[in-house]
Amino acid sequence: MDTFTFVILAIVLAMVATGGFAVWRFRRTAPATGGPGGSRLGVTLLSLVIGGALVVAALALVSAIMTVVQTIIATATTVAGMPIGNASRPPITDGVTGVADARYDSATLVIEGLPAAARWLLATEPLLASITTAGLALVVAWLCARVVRERPFARAVPPVIGGVAILVLLNGLGSQLTTAMGRAEAIRFLGERELTSVGPDNGEAFASFALGLDLSSFGWAMALAVVVGVFEVGRRLQGERDRLAEETRGLV
* pLDDT at residue 26 in the model: 56
Residue ranges of the chain whose pLDDT lies below 70: 1-39, 194, 197-203, 247, 249-252
* pLDDT at residue 31 in the model: 52
* pLDDT at residue 36 in the model: 47
The number of domains in the chain is 1
* pLDDT at residue 30 in the model: 53
Domain that holds residue 232: 3-251
* pLDDT at residue 246 in the model: 72
The strands making up 106-112's β-sheet, listed across from edge to edge, are 106-112, 76-85, 205-206
Distance CA 138, CA 55 (A): 10
Is the pTM here over 0.75, yes or no?
Answer: no
Angle, in degrees to the nearest 10, between helices 40-73 and 116-148: 170
Distance CA 200, CA 30 (A): 74
